Amino acid sequence: MSERTAVCPGSYDPVTNGHLDIIGRAANVFDRVVVGVVGNQFRKQPPLFTPEERKVFLEDATADLGNVEVEIFRELLVEFARSKGATAVVKGLRAISDFEFEFEMAQLNRLLDASVESIYIIASPAYSFLSSTGVKEMATFGGDVSELVPAPVAAALTERLSDR
C-alpha cells in the first residue's frame, strides 16, 4: 500500500501543547505528517511571531517524531495538501465552539477538492481549553504558561510580550 500522508495546518501563533497532542496522534495514524504553518493569515489579527519563527518552534517541538515535517504555506490549503501528496487534512476539535468554523472550512475545502478528506481529532481533555490566543493573553499579563507550551515558546513569549 502507498504511503499515507496528512497535512496538519494551522496558524500556530505559537504552537501549544494542545497542537502537539494532535500532531502526535496524527503521526500515529498516518505514515507521514506535514505540519503546514499558514504564511498569510486572512481572518485573524496580525500574528505575534513570523511564519519562520513559528516553523522553528514546531520543528524543535516535533524533532523526536521521525515522520513529521514542517513547512510554511501561502497557497490554498488543498493546493498545499496536493503538493505534498496528502490525502487528508487533520485538525483538532476542542469544543462545540470550534465546530462552526471547522464545518465551514471543511465544506469550502471539499468544494475546492473533494479528494482531500478533512479529518478531526478530538482534543485530549487536558488540552480542551487551550488556545494560542489564551496563552498569549496569559503571557501578556505575566501569567505562567510553562505548562501549556514548549519551553522555547514560553521563553519567546516572555521576551516578545515583556515590552507591551
How far apart CA 45 and CA 80 sit, in angstroms, is 23
Residue 33 sits in the site that holds ligand PNS (CB under 6 A):
no
Instruction: Give the nearest distance from C-beta 77 to ligand PNS in angstroms.
Output: 4
Question: Under 8 Å CB-to-CB from 132, ≥6 apart: which residues?
Answer: 11, 12, 13, 14, 15, 16
Binding to ligand PNS by CB under 6 A, coded x per residue (else -) over 47-86, reads -----------------------------xx---------
18 binds ligand PNS (CB under 6 A): no
- Distance in Å, CB of 134 to ligand PNS, minimum: 13
Q: Is 29 in the site for ligand PNS (CB under 6 A)?
A: no
95 binds ligand PNS, rule: CB under 6 A: no
By beta-carbon proximity to ligand PNS, the closer residue of 129 and 162 is: 129
Residue 10 or 14: which CB sits closer to ligand PNS?
10
**CA separation, residue 133 to residues 2, 44, 63, 138 (Å):** 38, 10, 24, 9
Compute the 3-state secondary structure of the chain and give helix, strand, coil in percent, each to the nearest 5. 45, 20, 40
Handedness of CA 149, 150, 152, 153 (dihedral sign): negative
Among candidate residues 82, 93, 83, the one with its CA nearest the CA of residue 117: 82
Residues 97-156 that bind ligand PNS (CB under 6 A): 105, 108-109
Task: Give contact residues for ligand PNS (rule: CB under 6 A).
Answer: 9-11, 38, 76-77, 105, 108-109
